[in-house]
């Protein structure tokens, strides 16, 4: 059984922070593979400035290349929108019975678990958490109860304060953001004129 981490996100766009975290998980945290699960739309986030799903998936495929440990997944494109992690997890486990799945998420997302659909069932899977120093755990008895019974692994992945919002904003301002995304992804963004200011 391959121990596989599911790394959910909009990846709008995928950047070197995502790749570094995934690489750390496979090299230092004991996971054999990381699947980048590209989400059509996160129910907890606004949809503004979100590129079409196939473009974001293309960029993840470009970023992971021929890696046998990092993969792109379009599985949520085949499920009803909005996407809920518990539904995706049930579907993906049925389709891939030779994998043991766990979740990979940032510390900030960990502290929103009480707002997710069916969190008790979700927390039957191990969670690998990378640090987000600005994260603040809210006062929530429900969250405390959920976390107390969960298998959570905090990992010392490198801290990179890079976000899709930062990259999109830089592109809109005409900045060279090639330092923050894989080269193939940067070429795709510039060739397609994504995130540019089109006033």
Quote the domain boundaries for residue 83: 2-162
Whether pLDDT at 43 is above 90: no
Share above pLDDT 90 across residues of the chain, in percent, rounded to a whole number: 85
Whether pLDDT at 49 is above 80: no
Determine the average pLDDT of the residues in 9-31.
97
pLDDT in tens, 123-160: 999 999 999 888 999 999 999 999 999 999 999 998 88
Question: Is there a domain that residue 133 lies in?
Answer: yes
Phi, psi (degrees; rounded to nearest 5) at 118: 50, 55
Question: Is there a domain that residue 170 lies in?
Answer: no
Whether pLDDT at 165 is above 80: yes
CA distances from 139 to 53, 112, 145, 195 (A): 35, 11, 11, 37
Question: Is there a domain that residue 185 lies in?
Answer: no
Question: Is there a domain that residue 171 lies in?
Answer: no
Whether pLDDT at 198 is above 60: yes
Determine the average pLDDT of the residues in 111-122.
95
Determine the average pLDDT of the residues in 54-83.
94
Window from 34-43, 57-66, 69-78, 167-176 with minimum mean pLDDT: 34-43
Q: Please report which confidence band the pLDDT of residue 45 belongs to, taking 50, 70 and 90 as the band edges.
A: low
Question: Is there a domain that residue 189 lies in?
Answer: no
pLDDT at 199: 55
Determine the average pLDDT of the residues in 92-103.
96
In the sheet that holds 127-130, the strands lie side by side as 70-73, 33-38, 2-9, 99-106, 127-130, 152-154
Question: Is there a domain that residue 126 lies in?
Answer: yes
Mean pLDDT of the chain: 93
Whether pLDDT at 44 is above 90: no
pLDDT at 82: 81
pLDDT at 2: 85
Whether pLDDT at 120 is above 70: yes
Question: Is there a domain that residue 7 lies in?
Answer: yes
CATH, residue 8 = 3.40.50.620
CA distances from 122 to 25, 102, 159 (A): 20, 10, 26
Question: Is there a domain that residue 144 lies in?
Answer: yes
Work out how many domains the chain is built from and give that number: 1
């Amino acid at each position: 059984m391959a121990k596989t981490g599911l790394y959910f996100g909009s990846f709008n766009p995928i950047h070197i922070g995502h790749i570094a975290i995934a690489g750390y998980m496979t090299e230092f945290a004991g996971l054999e593979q990381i699947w980048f699960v590209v989400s059509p739309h996160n129910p907890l986030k606004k949809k503004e400035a979100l590129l079409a799903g196939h473009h974001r998936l293309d960029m993840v495929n470009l970023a992971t290349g021929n890696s046998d440990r990092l993969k792109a997944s379009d599985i949520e494109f085949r499920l009803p929108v909005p996407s809920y992690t518990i539904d995706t997890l049930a579907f993906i486990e049925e389709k891939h019975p030779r994998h043991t799945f766990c979740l990979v998420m940032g510390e900030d997302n960990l502290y929103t678990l009480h707002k997710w659909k069916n969190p008790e069932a979700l927390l039957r899977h191990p969670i690998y958490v990378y640090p987000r120093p600005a994260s603040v755990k809210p006062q929530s008895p429900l969250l405390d109860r959920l976390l107390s019974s969960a298998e959570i692994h905090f990992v010392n992945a490198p801290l990179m304060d890079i976000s899709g919002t930062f990259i999109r904003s830089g592109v809109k301002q005409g900045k060279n953001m090639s330092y923050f995304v894989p080269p193939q992804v940067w070429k795709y963004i510039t060739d397609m004129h994504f995130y540019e200011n089109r006033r």
